[in-house]
Amino acid sequence: MIRLERVTKRFGHHTVLDNLDFSVDAGKHVTLIGPSGSGKTTILRLLMTLLKPDEGTVTVDGDQLYPAPEKQVREIRKKIGMVFQQFNLFPNMTVLRNITEAPVTVLGMSKDEAEERARELLEMVGLTEHVDKHPAQLSGGQQQRVAIARALAMRPQVLLLDEVTSALDPELVAGVLDVLRDIARSTDITMLCVTHEMNFARDISDRVLMFDSGRIIEAGAPEKIFSEPEHDRTREFLSAVL
Ligand code: ADP
């Protein structure tokens, strides 16, 4: 579903991704861990077409994202949903409208169908009773759950999660992670997550990739990475965050 081949990204003289190769099979959940600044978010931004690589190719569902004509990029973009650290909801719209806006305007879904789907998603994220509120009337955890519902409303094949609990008060983290665990269990969406929540990573991941300085230094099943890491760098990182 996702394939990066020999991807290099530089900012000025700083090589942020260094000749990187990896792929994620359809329906799998892969988590990127590693120290701050090691390039994890840059990968999500490449997949979201917010950045372009300097070298290498990125493909999604068999279609090349770089280099590609603008129309192809737009089509691929529709297959990918993303949830950010900051929830980025539309402040002037109700919860319901936040979720229905893109399906109606981008996918051409009817308003009724979009609302029906939005209500199903709100039930899934436990926010049925908040449908007519505005984002400012919700807690950060509730807003993030709306953001998750909004991403799913576009029926993406791929869900990118960028440190989605980092901006939340500690007591609100578990509710958001529970929703994501549920999505990982009950859907066939391919998930690529950047997270500092190691227990969550252990629970949902098929594979964990450990990054350092723009390279993958170790990859494997979560049991392996968390229980028997091979690299000193991975051990050091895990002992600092666990
Ligand atoms: P991580 O997600 O692992 O913390 P990032 O992918 O956010 O790491 O960042 C990798 C490196 O790229 C960092 O050193 C960061 O400062 C740098 N970087 C990210 N975006 C930009 C940018 N737009 N301009 C310059 N440097 C950037």
Mutate to test the pocket of ligand 1, among 41, 209, 215 (most ligand atoms within 8 A of CB): 41
Tokens of 187: 């859907």
- Please report, rounded to a whole number, the percentage of residues in the chain having pLDDT higher than 90: 95
pLDDT in tens, 106-116: 999 999 999 99
Residue of minimum CA distance from atom 21 in ligand 1: 11
What ipTM was predicted for this assembly?
0.96
Q: Mean pLDDT across the stretch 222-227?
A: 96
> Does the beta carbon of 37 lie inside 6 Å of ligand 1?
yes
Q: Would you state the pLDDT for residue 219?
A: 97
| Alpha helices, H only, 20-169 | 40-47, 70-77, 95-105, 111-124, 140-153
> Does the beta carbon of 41 lie inside 6 Å of ligand 1?
yes
Q: Mean pLDDT across the stretch 150-172?
A: 95
CA of 124 to the centre of ligand 1 (A): 34
Say how far apart CA 98 and CA 131 lie, in whole Å.
10
Average pLDDT across the chain, whole number: 95
Q: Would you state the pLDDT for residue 199?
A: 93
pLDDT in tens, 78-101: 999 999 999 999 999 999 999 999
Q: Is the pLDDT of residue 67 over 90?
A: no
CA of 108 to the centre of ligand 1 (A): 35
Q: Is the pLDDT of residue 125 over 90?
A: yes
> Does the beta carbon of 195 lie inside 6 Å of ligand 1?
no
Mutate to test the pocket of ligand 1, among 4, 8, 11 (most ligand atoms within 8 A of CB): 11
> Within 10 Å of residue 22's Cβ, how many Cβ atoms?
17
